[in-house]
Amino acid sequence: MFDVSKKRHRLRIVIPAFSAFNIYSGVANKTTALGPVCVATAANEMEGWDVEIIDENNISLYCPKTDSGETDHNFLQEHRPADVVGFYGGLTSTIPRLYEIARFYKEKGVITVAGGQHFVEDNIAEALNSCVDYVAIGEGEETIKEFLRAIEGKRDVAGVKGLAFLKNGQVTFTAQREPLADFDKTPSPNFSLVRYAKIKIYPVGRIRGCAMECEFCTVKGRPRCATPERLLEDICFLVETNNARQFFIVDDLFGQQRDETIRFCNMLRDYQIRIGKKLDIMVQIRLDKASDVELLSAMRQASINTVAIGFESPIEEELEAMKKHVKPENMISLARSFHKFGFLVHGMFIFGYPLKEGASVKITAKERVKRFKKFIRKAKIDTVQVLIPVPLPGTELRHRLERENRVYSIRDVGWEYYDGNFPLFEPDEPLTARELQASTLKIMGKLYQFKYMFMVGLHIFSFPILLFFLNNIRAGWLKWYRPWRNNLLRFGGWLIMRGWASEFKKGKFFQKLKQAQERLKK
């Protein structure tokens, strides 16, 4: 029960752990999610509230743990009791863990609230029947403040916009909340609220929303932008207070506001010159931006070193199904344009995308793997991520596959498998579900190999030799750094894939898959 007599209360926001070791595990313990930090920062400004974030994917040795290695929430609640616990539901694969922790706090009499991209349509009722008292719909900075005031008894919960809760056993929705438009009114994200974490890569952002309307994506709507000055302020603050050097700009498409993006890059360049330090920044960007020489030049001068690009597939019919307005034959030359400017290219792919009814691509798994490998080699992509299509809740892709009776039942293949590493639906012929998963490992296995451990050592010894022949430190560094960095990442990728394969063998996924396929046939 909420004790209104207390002079101070505590809000704890939990980012649930991944259900198992996966390809994201390597970076998850170096960063955190931006959304929960923004919500926690807004709540932390309220009088009478202390706020903390527990990111279960990034916890140091100081964090109390159970014998099984999980975060010890019983210890946390005994030593720092929370009055309200919020849960980040932005990753569908973490939902089973979210419900598990919610059940623990609910049994302790703590008020629970959850939000994130997973909670749409029928999943709201699922959450409210899984020990979550309230579901926040949409962006949470304003909702959390109104909600906490309501919990204090200073207003009616039914008057809080953007909430869902059970009333007489029925899901009840409050008035809809409009998306944020003026981000300069919100406080800068306070990463010191993330307890026990060792953050090396700081997520920052300027633009919310995306106008691309990809079938498989949950991010929709007109892009809403903060000013370049605001993003620069967030970066400067982290550099000066946390000694931050690495940043990931989480905007779905960097450069949506071209002129403002160039202005931001120029300001960031000038800032680094003034402080005499170089940053290391990664962004997500559209492939067609490769033709914008002025933009790419400004990005490089601003220390944007890595671009993550959604190539998705080298198969034209699949690109059309995804609503990707690009031809495979143009993608290779565009990718190489990024290389000419010195960017490291991280390619993101989806293998075996399901085509719409009437479309047909009779390509075997072996031939598809061959095409993917050839494309990656010709495009000179430095690192890759190849995932299986995920029919996420609320997406057009899920709706389409459900109409076609192709999605495996959650009763058999649960939310914990929704991370892009497992087949979740009946694929197009001649592919099989087992081939989907095996093929992604084959493609990434070509790039991520044990041999790169030796290549790292060879490149270290080759550096002084390269400098001697080039007689130019800067030119020598640039020529040496890319292959050294790629070899290091590819060896690290081999370690991650090896760990993931080991964890996968321990599970019983294919037994569950067989049950799911049999259920579809009934």
For residue 480, what pLDDT is reported? 64
Q: Is residue 506 part of a domain?
A: yes
The CATH number covering residue 432 comes to 3.20.20.70
Q: Are 149 and 242 members of one domain?
A: no
Q: Are 414 and 473 members of one domain?
A: no
Beginning with the edge strand found earlier in the chain, give each strand of the sheet holding 280-284 in spatial order: 201-204, 246-249, 280-284, 304-312, 344-350, 383-387
Least Cα distance to 147 among 80, 84, 193 occurs for 84
Q: Are 301 and 218 members of one domain?
A: yes
Least Cα distance to 338 among 314, 308, 376 occurs for 308
Query: Cα 238 from chain centroid?
Result: 21
Q: Are 383 and 244 members of one domain?
A: yes
Q: Is residue 359 part of a domain?
A: yes
Contact 397, 389 (CB under 8 A): yes
Q: Are 491 and 474 members of one domain?
A: yes
pTM for the full model?
0.91
Question: Rounded to the nearest 5°, which phi and psi values hold at 475?
Answer: -65, -40
Question: In whole angstroms, what is the distance from residue 362 CA to residue 364 CA?
Answer: 7
Q: How many CB atoms lie within 10 A of CB 53?
A: 28
Q: Are 399 and 414 members of one domain?
A: yes
Q: Is residue 302 part of a domain?
A: yes
For residue 453, what pLDDT is reported? 80
For residue 21, what pLDDT is reported? 64
Question: In whole angstroms, what is the distance from residue 100 CA to residue 291 CA?
Answer: 48
For residue 469, what pLDDT is reported? 53
Q: Per-residue pLDDT for the chain (522 aa), expressed as one digit of tens each? A: 788 888 899 999 999 998 776 667 778 889 999 999 999 999 999 999 999 999 999 998 889 999 988 999 999 999 999 999 999 999 999 999 999 999 999 999 999 999 998 988 779 999 999 999 999 999 999 999 999 999 998 878 999 999 999 999 999 999 999 998 888 888 999 999 999 999 999 999 999 888 777 888 888 778 899 999 999 999 999 999 999 999 999 998 898 889 999 999 999 999 999 999 999 999 999 999 999 999 999 999 999 999 999 998 998 878 877 777 777 888 999 999 998 898 999 999 999 999 887 777 788 999 999 999 999 999 989 999 999 999 999 999 999 999 999 999 999 999 999 999 899 999 998 999 999 989 998 998 888 888 878 776 676 666 555 555 555 555 555 666 777 777 777 887 777 777 777 666 667 888 899 999 999 987
Least Cα distance to 248 among 229, 261, 235 occurs for 235
Query: Cα 272 from chain centroid?
Result: 27
Helix (H, G, I), strand (E, B) or coil at 416: helix
Q: Are 397 and 471 members of one domain?
A: no
Least Cα distance to 11 among 176, 127, 134 occurs for 134
For residue 215, what pLDDT is reported? 86
- Check whether the bond before 223 is cis (ω within 30° of 0): no
214 DSSP 8-state letter? -
Exposure b/e, 18-38, CB count within 10 A at least 16 = b: bbbbbbbbbebbebbbbbbbb
Lookup result for tokens 């306070």: 190
User: 243 vs 199, 238, 265, 289, 385, CA distance in Å?
Assistant: 11, 7, 20, 31, 29
User: 76 vs 16, 28, 62, 66, 112, CA distance in Å?
Assistant: 15, 22, 12, 11, 16
Lookup result for tokens 């290549």: 455
Query: Cα 105 from chain centroid?
Result: 26
Question: In whole angstroms, what is the distance from residue 456 CA to residue 475 CA?
Answer: 19
Q: Are 78 and 90 members of one domain?
A: yes
- What type of residue is 246? Q
Strand partners for 310: 348
- What type of residue is 268? L
Q: Is residue 187 part of a domain?
A: no
Q: Are 236 and 326 members of one domain?
A: yes
Q: Is residue 367 part of a domain?
A: yes
- Max CA pair span of the chain: 79
Least Cα distance to 98 among 221, 15, 187 occurs for 15
Q: Is residue 189 part of a domain?
A: no
Query: Cα 54 from chain centroid?
Result: 17
Q: Is residue 2 part of a domain?
A: no
Q: Are 140 and 267 members of one domain?
A: no
Question: Rounded to the nearest 5°, which phi and psi values hold at 384?
Answer: -135, 160
Question: In whole angstroms, what is the distance from residue 147 CA to residue 38 CA?
Answer: 16
Tokens matching residue 371: 């095409």
The CATH number covering residue 109 comes to 3.40.50.280
Least Cα distance to 334 among 350, 318, 311 occurs for 311
Of 422, 447, 472, the residue at which a domain comes to its end is 447
Of 390, 423, 447, the residue at which a domain comes to its end is 447
Tokens matching residue 385: 């991520």
Question: In whole angstroms, what is the distance from residue 145 CA to residue 454 CA?
Answer: 53
For residue 132, what pLDDT is reported? 97
Q: Are 522 and 465 members of one domain?
A: yes
Domain total of the chain: 3
For residue 462, what pLDDT is reported? 61
Q: Are 391 and 246 members of one domain?
A: yes
Least Cα distance to 236 among 208, 207, 202, 185 occurs for 202
Question: In whole angstroms, what is the distance from residue 315 CA to residue 397 CA?
Answer: 18
Q: Is residue 184 part of a domain?
A: no
Helix (H, G, I), strand (E, B) or coil at 169: coil
Q: Which H helix or E strand runs over 163?
A: strand 163-167
Least Cα distance to 263 among 231, 311, 224, 310 occurs for 231
Of 395, 415, 447, the residue at which a domain comes to its end is 447
Residue numbers of the domain that contains 18? 9-173
